[in-house]
Amino acid sequence: MNPLLEKFNTKYTSAPFEEIKEEHYLPAFQELVKTSEKEIDEITNNPEKPTFENTIEAMAFSGEQLDRVSNIFFNLNSAETNDEIQKIAQEVSPLLTEFSSKISQNEKLFERIKSVYDQKDSLSLNEEQQTLLNETYKGFVRSGALLSEEDKKKLEKINMDLSIKSLQFGQNALASTNAYFKHITDKEELKGIPEAILQQYEEDAKEKDLEGYVITLQYPSYLPAMTYAENRELRKELALANGKKSFDGGEFDNQNLIKEIVKLRQEKAELLGYKNYADFVLEERMAQSPTKVFEFLNELLEKATPYAQKEIEELKSLAKADGIDDIQSYDHAFYAEKLRKQKFDIDDEELKPYFQLEKVQEAVFGLAGKLFGLEFKEINDVQKYHQDVKTYEITENGNYKSLLYADYHPRKGKRAGAWMTSYKNQYKQNGENSRPHISVVCNFTKPTKDTPSLLTFQEVTTLFHEFGHALHGVLADTQYPNLSGTSVKWDFVELPSQFLENYCYEPEFLETFAKHYQTGEILPAEKIEKLSESKSFMEGYQTLRQLGFGLLDMAYHSEVGALENKSVKEFEVEKTAATNLYPSNPETAASPSFSHIFQGGYSAGYYSYKWAEVLDADAFQYFKENGIFNPEIASKYKILLSSGGTKNPMELYKNFRGREPKVESLLKRAFG
């Protein structure tokens, strides 16, 4: 029996993780693709006249089990992968791409969709139904429905190649990250690194059957070394290893894949009638055009550069006092931490005891309760994919709202970083509101035998960020699964996550949970005040760094043929020159491990982090002016979150705020 092909007979029909074996995946995908094809055939060959219900709505609810199995498999490929799962992914991705192409290139089906679309003005549809109809029609056109047979086949081949190459890019980046570790036996080499971190390095060494200490390129291991190690040569070596990820000409090198992916995306855009891939992508974003994105990024660049340069000058002065005349990028975190301590008397390691993971989670749960009336209860009768995962039942007024999986610690089969994802979408059908299953995945330091998991302040904001995304999913209240939760325009998707981060800097909220894990003492008021003031610390540098990634991403996807006569490194240096505040090292490059744009969904969309910062600064200013827990504003914001992709995001924002967002809100928050 294959559990993936059965009805999930579990609490809340949650994924039966403990019953699933690797050999179940491929047969399940093969079978469910056939089942989904039959559903599509029934819609396509329905003898009745095409209507919204028998065509558009029927499609929205088709393939539910395939979607669920896909979510399970690809989420685990990020959070709990191994060689076998990665091998299966290489077989499954083309299968799904082919299935998707078959649907999008089904002429008879498109005729039915077009027939409904052409009479949309006389159908008396509500707003969500109109959105579904428009999105379905547009989706087909953008997938090549209006192309000739020959061009359809070309597009199918491009999509297939892209799915395989993007997957390979991510696997290379992960393998390259995992391939490196620094083994140290002399504790003196680790001078400056706090004891709690050294304990973690010892645990990592033991896992590899080594004496002494091990530092890896996983961020909870790498960042503390870069921030606190007095040993400059060690920082240099680690930074070099990190910058060489998939850029060393070895087995996991991604440089050729970048060129191939960029070329294929350009071919796809031209085939569909667009000048470049950025034009194709941005048609479906709030920003709408590359010109508007470049204007936005360059305006911020102009405003932020003087602040960033001033910040670097301060770091240079500190380094000079240590006899360093040629400050490099691998010195940045070390001297930024020194300066932060000097300016605000804030030391991440000194603060960590006040941010025990469990207490931070309680705080974010409590905030969701205060703003949106949600309650969280840990449950143990839901299957998990790893023992580290915790499961929570979320209710509102005693009614079940959502299931939450929390997966917080690094391990070998888990990619770096932090993300929110969904195992099941929310939708309404046959009078039932089918609720979502949401997951938050992070890579926080594991507890040791002596110490619980303690977070840096940056990790605190990371948890709030991902939980903001989670709330977008949890509060979803739409009719159709493909308009639910985070199914919104890409440059709108970061608003809920970045918005929630603001609370981490508010003294009246911080003092409710920033308590020493041993003594229960509240973080002293002056430290809370300093933390709040430190929000804009190094904001110029961070802004330029984000703008660099945004400009690089836009350059890859809007400059036709620009990579043909250049190496990836040359291209990267040229396109980020205006944002680079340190000399470039010829041995390192960011692009070969830039998974957001070459594996994830941020191609021609990385700018959206900054775009969403404008939205979140503007939205939070509204709360600040009226009380950060203001129930009326919170209820308006809840409507924005629960509406998913049912309306134009600017319209949703204006309904909440009463006007369009202003860039000045971000500039005021960042630079005063």
Those residues whose C-beta lies under 8 Å from the C-beta of residue 479, and which sit 6 or more positions away, are 128, 129, 132, 427, 428, 646
C-alpha dist (Å) from residue 327 to 185, 320, 324, 581, 582: 28, 8, 6, 10, 8
For residue 367, the surrounding DSSP H or E stretch is helix 357-372
Are residues 547 and 304 in contact, defined by beta-carbon separation less than 8 angstroms?
Answer: yes
Count of beta carbons in the 10 Å neighbourhood of residue 610:
22
The amino acid occupying position 292 is K
Are residues 217 and 237 in contact, defined by beta-carbon separation less than 8 angstroms?
Answer: no
Residue 395 forms beta bridges with which residues? Answer: 375, 400
Q: What's the distance, Cα to Cα, between the start and end of the chain in Å?
A: 62
Strand 432-434 to 399-407 pairing: unpaired
C-alpha dist (Å) from residue 366 to 358, 474, 588, 629: 12, 15, 43, 12
For residue 392, the surrounding DSSP H or E stretch is strand 390-396
Nearest by Cα to 12 from 327, 424, 320, 421: 424
Q: Which entry of 466, 494, 572, 613 is annotated as an active-site residue? A: 466
Nearest by Cα to 644 from 502, 501, 469, 499: 469
Distance (Å, rounded) from C-alpha 233 to C-alpha 228? 13
Would you state the torsion angle of the CA atoms of residues 150, 151, 152, 155, taken in this order, to the nearest 10 degrees?
130
Q: DSSP for 150-177?
A: HHHHHHHHHHHHHHHHHHHHHHHHHHHH
Q: What is the 3-class SS of 565-597, one letter each residue?
A: CCCHHHHHHHHHHHHCCCCCCCCCCCHHHCHHH
Distance (Å, rounded) from C-alpha 274 to C-alpha 560? 11
Which of helix, strand or coil describes residue 644? coil
Q: Which single residue is written with the structure tokens 């679309």?
A: 117
Which of helix, strand or coil describes residue 113? helix
For residue 399, the surrounding DSSP H or E stretch is strand 399-407
DSSP state of 147: S
Nearest by Cα to 415 from 596, 236, 163: 596
Distance (Å, rounded) from C-alpha 558 to C-alpha 214? 42
Those residues whose C-beta lies under 8 Å from the C-beta of residue 99, and which sit 6 or more positions away, are 33, 36, 37
Count of beta carbons in the 10 Å neighbourhood of residue 208:
10
C-alpha dist (Å) from residue 287 to 140, 364, 610, 612, 663: 22, 31, 12, 11, 14
The amino acid occupying position 41 is D
Nearest by Cα to 24 from 42, 7, 5, 9: 5
In whole angstroms, how large is the CA radius of gyration of the chain?
25
Count of beta carbons in the 10 Å neighbourhood of residue 184:
18
State the burial class of residue 263 (Cβ atoms within 10 Å of its Cβ: 0-12, 13-18, 19+): middle
Is 466 annotated as catalytic? yes
Nearest by Cα to 264 from 168, 167, 162: 162
Catalytic positions, please? 466
